[in-house]
Amino acid sequence: MAVLGVSLAGCSTGPAADPVRADADAPPGSAEIATYLDDGGAMEALLTGTLVERDGCLYLETPGYAPDGGSAYWLPILPERTTRWDGTTLTLGDESHRVGDEVSLGGGASSEPTSPYDLSGQEGIPDACSTEYAWLAGPPREPAAG
């Protein structure tokens, strides 16, 4: 299975900075998402963070994860067949999330600052998105029969 992933690490400071939407120049809802064609299989780690718009992409912010103790911004690479983004709501299977929500995604890291993988330019990865931190999100689990 090929592994894709992308993320952006960066900082925005100053009193005008919006903690959820750090890129004040981009209009809300203009962020892009990264996707991949999935085959139903997935890694099973868990990443939890706050959904944020940053530099034209949608990320999960994880405070304290970066080497300097600051936030890391993980670009989730989402399964194309079960993901929808309308500029306001991110729908993953039957779950809906908005910017500012805490989101947990199953999957696994496919790129970190020490990773040998360069995922920039891969199909499904918007050019605006950095690949410093990347999370390959698995498809939503089917509800348990019961």
**Please, what are the averages of pLDDT over each run of 10 residues along the chain (146 residues)?**
34 31 56 79 85 95 93 94 93 95 92 70 87 88 59
Decide if 15 is inside a domain.
Answer: no
Decide if 11 is inside a domain.
Answer: no
**Predicted TM-score of the model (pTM):** 0.72
Which has the closest alpha carbon to 6: 139, 137, 132, 103?
132
Q: Which residue range forms the structural domain that includes residue 105? A: 20-137
Beta strands in 4-133 (DSSP E): 6-7, 34-36, 45-54, 57-62, 72-79, 83-85, 89-92, 95-98, 102-111
Write down the pLDDT at residue 144: 52
Write down the pLDDT at residue 130: 83
Q: How many CB atoms sit inside 10 A of residue 101's CB? A: 15
Decide if 2 is inside a domain.
Answer: no
- Count up the domains in the chain and report the number: 1
Q: CA torsion angle for 60, 63, 4, 96 (degrees, to 10)?
A: -20
Decide if 1 is inside a domain.
Answer: no
Decide if 39 is inside a domain.
Answer: yes
Decide if 6 is inside a domain.
Answer: no
Decide if 73 is inside a domain.
Answer: yes
Decide if 8 is inside a domain.
Answer: no
Write down the pLDDT at residue 79: 92
